[in-house]
C-alpha cells in the first residue's frame, strides 16, 4: 500500500475499505481491532484527505476519529466509520415482518441497512439507508419517565406507534428527574448535532450519552428472549441522545421534533407525540 500511495498525489482523497475495523470503541477485543494499526497509519503518512470504512462488528455502528493517541500524524482527525450492516444482528434474529423476513436489528438498535457513498474531488459523504424501511426512518424516539421506565415504540425496528400512548403528569415534568426524550440516531457519532423542539419552540441541543444499551432493544429482547423471534442481545450504543421535556407544558397533546445534522450537513428529522394529563 505504501508503494502504491507513492504514486497518488498528496491532494487526492484516499478511501480505505477493510473488513475488520481499524479501531472501534465498541470493544477492546484484538479480534475486532487492527493489531498493527500503528504501522498502517505510518504508511498513510498523515495524508490530508482520508476516509476509511469497515464492517466485521455486526453488533455496533461506530464513528471513530483517530488522532495522536492512535499514532495518526495528520493535521485533522482521521475519520474511520464502522458501518451498520446489511445482515444486521443476524439474518435469523428478530421478529418477522409481513413478508416473513426477520428484522435483524443490530445490538446497538440500528436497523440492518446499507450506504450510499458520494465523492466529489477531495470530499466524501455517506448516507445510511435502513434496508426494509422508509429512507427517512433515521432515528427512533422514546421516553424515560420519572421512575426510570422506558417507553419505546412498536412496529418493525420500532418504526411504528407506541402500544400505549405516552402520557405524563404536570408533576412528572416538574420533578427533580423530569421526563426525558431518548433518541437513537442510527449511525450517529460525536460530530452529529442533535437538537429537540417541543410544539415548535426553539431547537435546543440534546445531550450525547456515553455508550449505553438502547431501551428499544432491551425491551424487545426482554419480551422475546428464548423464542424464535428473539433479537440480538443488547450491546452499548454510541449514538443515543437525551433531553428533558420542558417543565411548564400545559395539559393536552404535544409534539416532539428531533433534528440531527451530521458532519456533512445532512439533516434527518422525526416527530413523536405525548400527552400531559389534567391534574386531578
Which domain, by its residues, includes 194? 139-276
For residues 265 and 204, membership in a common domain is answered with: yes
State which of 86, 102, 130 marks the end of a domain.
130
208-250: per-residue pLDDT in tens?
999 999 999 999 999 999 999 999 999 999 999 999 999 999 9
State which of 130, 163, 184 marks the end of a domain.
130
For residues 28 and 10, membership in a common domain is answered with: yes
Rama region for 209: left / alpha / beta (φ>0; ψ in -120 to 50; rest): beta
Quote the percentage of the chain above a pLDDT of 70. 96
150-151/252-261 β-pairing: unpaired
Give yes or no for a contact between 185 and 137, defined as CB atoms under 8 angstroms apart.
no
pTM over the 0.95 mark: no
Query: To the nearest whole number, what is the mean pLDDT of the chain?
Result: 92
Beta bridge partners of 254: 274
Higher pLDDT, 61 or 12: 12
Residue 71 CB contacts under 8 Å (≥ 6 apart), including other chains: 37, 38, 41, 42
Per-residue pLDDT at 29 = 61
For residues 124 and 143, membership in a common domain is answered with: no
Exposed/middle/buried for 231, CB within 10 Å: 0-12, 13-18, 19+?
A: buried
53-85: per-residue pLDDT in tens?
998 776 678 889 999 988 899 989 999 999 888
Per-residue pLDDT at 77 = 93
Quote the percentage of the chain above a pLDDT of 90. 73
Give yes or no for a contact between 84 and 55, defined as CB atoms under 8 angstroms apart.
no
Per-residue pLDDT at 240 = 96
State which of 71, 103, 130 marks the end of a domain.
130
Lowest average pLDDT, out of 81-90, 106-115, 185-194, 245-254, goes to 81-90
Per-residue pLDDT at 28 = 61
Per-residue pLDDT at 45 = 87
Residue 172 parent element (H or E)? helix 170-174
pLDDT mean over 104-127: 94
CATH of the domain at 208: 2.60.40
Domains held by the chain: number: 2
For residues 258 and 152, membership in a common domain is answered with: yes
For residues 111 and 94, membership in a common domain is answered with: yes
Give yes or no for a contact between 67 and 73, defined as CB atoms under 8 angstroms apart.
no
For residues 221 and 159, membership in a common domain is answered with: yes
147-161: per-residue pLDDT in tens?
999 999 999 999 999
Per-residue pLDDT at 259 = 98
For residues 120 and 190, membership in a common domain is answered with: no
Cα–Cα distance between 107 and 152 in angstroms, integer? 16
For residues 43 and 164, membership in a common domain is answered with: no
For residues 118 and 151, membership in a common domain is answered with: no
Give yes or no for a contact between 34 and 21, defined as CB atoms under 8 angstroms apart.
yes
C-alpha cell at 55: 464492517
Per-residue pLDDT at 125 = 94
Give yes or no for a contact between 191 and 182, defined as CB atoms under 8 angstroms apart.
no
pLDDT mean over 141-145: 97
25-50: per-residue pLDDT in tens?
876 666 678 888 889 999 998 889 99
The SS3 of residue 44 is: helix
Per-residue pLDDT at 30 = 63
For residues 148 and 263, membership in a common domain is answered with: yes
C-alpha cell at 136: 427517512
Amino acid at each position: 500500500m505504501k508503494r502504491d500511495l507513492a504514486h497518488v498525489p498528496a491532494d487526492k482523497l484516499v478511501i480505505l475499505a477493510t473488513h475488520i475495523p481499524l479501531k472501534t470503541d465498541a470493544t477492546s477485543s484484538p479480534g475486532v481491532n487492527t493489531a498493527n494499526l500503528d504501522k498502517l497509519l505510518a504508511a498513510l503518512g498523515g495524508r490530508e484527505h482520508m476516509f476509511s470504512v469497515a464492517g466485521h462488528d455486526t453488533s455496533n455502528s461506530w464513528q471513530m476519529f483517530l488522532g495522536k493517541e492512535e499514532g495518526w500524524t495528520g493535521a485533522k482527525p482521521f475519520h474511520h466509520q464502522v458501518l451498520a450492516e446489511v445482515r444486521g444482528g443476524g439474518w435469523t434474529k428478530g421478529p418477522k415482518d409481513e413478508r416473513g423476513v426477520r428484522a435483524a436489528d443490530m445490538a446497538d438498535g440500528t436497523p440492518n441497512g446499507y450506504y450510499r457513498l458520494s465523492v466529489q474531488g477531495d470530499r466524501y459523504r455517506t448516507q445510511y439507508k435502513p434496508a426494509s424501511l422508509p429512507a427517512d426512518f433515521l432515528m427512533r424516539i422514546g421516553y424515560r419517565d420519572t421512575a426510570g421506565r422506558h417507553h419505546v415504540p412498536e412496529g418493525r425496528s420500532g418504526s411504528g406507534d407506541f402500544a400505549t400512548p405516552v402520557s405524563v403528569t404536570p408533576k412528572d415534568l416538574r420533578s427533580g428527574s423530569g421526563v426525558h426524550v431518548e433518541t437513537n440516531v442510527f449511525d450517529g457519532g460525536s460530530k452529529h448535532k442533535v437538537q429537540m423542539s417541543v410544539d415548535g419552540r426553539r431547537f435546543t441541543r440534546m445531550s450525547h450519552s456515553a455508550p449505553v444499551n438502547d431501551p428499544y432493544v432491551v425491551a424487545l429482547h426482554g419480551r422475546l428472549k428464548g423464542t424464535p423471534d428473539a433479537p440480538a442481545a443488547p450491546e452499548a450504543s454510541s449514538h443515543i441522545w437525551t433531553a428533558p421535556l420542558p417543565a411548564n407544558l400545559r395539559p393536552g397533546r404535544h409534539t416532539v421534533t428531533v433534528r440531527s445534522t451530521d458532519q456533512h450537513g445532512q439533516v434527518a428529522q422525526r416527530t413523536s407525540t405525548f400527552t400531559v394529563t389534567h391534574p386531578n
